[in-house]
Amino acid sequence: MGLTPIGVLRISARAALRRRFGYAGLRVMRRGVRRAIKLHRERTLDVSRPYSTSIGDLRQTYFAAMARIRRRWPRLDPSDPRAEP
């Protein structure tokens, strides 16, 4: 079946935390968020397969991952252009 959108977010958060620099980690996390949202939209529209994840579950996973990133790099500025993928 493959990864769920929440699984994509969790894996991208772990990959982001393995990076040496905060902006590289933030880029990895943002790519994962885009992929998870795209996957969520695809699975929501496909009625032939059961899918029960809500956008609230994705939001909760995203905020938990970002909190971990902020704890690792407390002075990281998310609006910096270096954080763009």
**Residue 57 falls within a domain, yes or no?**
yes
Boundaries of domain holding 43: 5-76
**Residue 55 falls within a domain, yes or no?**
yes
Question: Domain count of the chain?
Answer: 1
**Residue 44 falls within a domain, yes or no?**
yes
**Residue 84 falls within a domain, yes or no?**
no
Strands (DSSP E) found in 1-85: none
- Kindly state the DSSP code that residue 20 receives in the 8-state scheme: S
pLDDT number for residue 1: 55
**Residue 82 falls within a domain, yes or no?**
no
* 21 or 52, which is more confident: 21
pTM reported for the whole predicted model: 0.87
* 33 or 84, which is more confident: 33
**Residue 59 falls within a domain, yes or no?**
yes
**Residue 46 falls within a domain, yes or no?**
yes
CB 25 within 8 A of CB 16: yes
**Residue 83 falls within a domain, yes or no?**
no
